[in-house]
Chain A
Amino acid sequence: MNNNSNSETNCFTEKEALHDALEAQKQITGMFNSYSNECANSEVRKVMLDILNDEHSIQFDVFNDMQKRGYYPVSPAQQDKITKMKNTYSQQAGGGGSGGSSGASGNWSGGSAGMDTTPLHTPGGGMDNKSRK
Chain B
Amino acid sequence: MKEVFLHMSNLSEKELSALGDLLSYEELLVKKYNNLAQNTQDQEIKSKFQGIAQKHQEHFNKLYSQL
Distance A68 CA – B4 CA, assembled complex (angstroms): 57
> What string of 1s and 0s marks CB contacts (under 8 Å) between A23-54 and chain B?
01001100110010011110110011011001
The answer to whether A17 and B59 touch (CB under 8 A), given A4-B41, A35-B18, A38-B14, is no
| Partner among A17, A18, A24 whose Cβ is within 8 Å of the Cβ of B39 | A17
Distance A55 CA – B55 CA, assembled complex (angstroms): 9
Q: How far is the CB of B61 from chain A (nearest CB, A)?
A: 11
B:26-67 near A, CB below 8 Å: 26, 29, 32-33, 35-36, 38-42, 45, 48-49, 52, 55, 59, 62-63, 66
Distance A58 CA – B52 CA, assembled complex (angstroms): 7
Describe A's contact surface by its main secondary structure.
helix
Instruction: Flag if B45 contacts A47 (CB, 8 Å).
Output: no
Q: How far is the CB of A62 from chain B (nearest CB, A)?
A: 8
Q: Which of A6-14, A82-90, A102-110, A122-130 contacts B (4 or more CB under 8 A)?
A: A6-14
- Interface size class of chain B, counting residues whose CB lies under 8 Å from the partner chain: 20 to 34
Instruction: Flag if B42 contacts A14 (CB, 8 Å).
Output: yes
Residues of A within 8 Å of B, CB-based: how many?
32
Q: How far is the CB of A97 from chain B (nearest CB, A)?
A: 40
Contacts of B41 in A (CB 8 A): 4, 6, 14
Q: How far is the CB of A8 from chain B (nearest CB, A)?
A: 10
B residues near A (Cβ < 8 Å) are: 10-12, 14-15, 18-19, 21-22, 25-26, 29, 32-33, 35-36, 38-42, 45, 48-49, 52, 55, 59, 62-63, 66
A residues near B (Cβ < 8 Å) are: 1, 4, 6, 11-12, 14, 17-18, 20-21, 24, 27-28, 31-32, 35, 38-41, 43-44, 47-48, 50-51, 54-55, 58, 61-62, 65
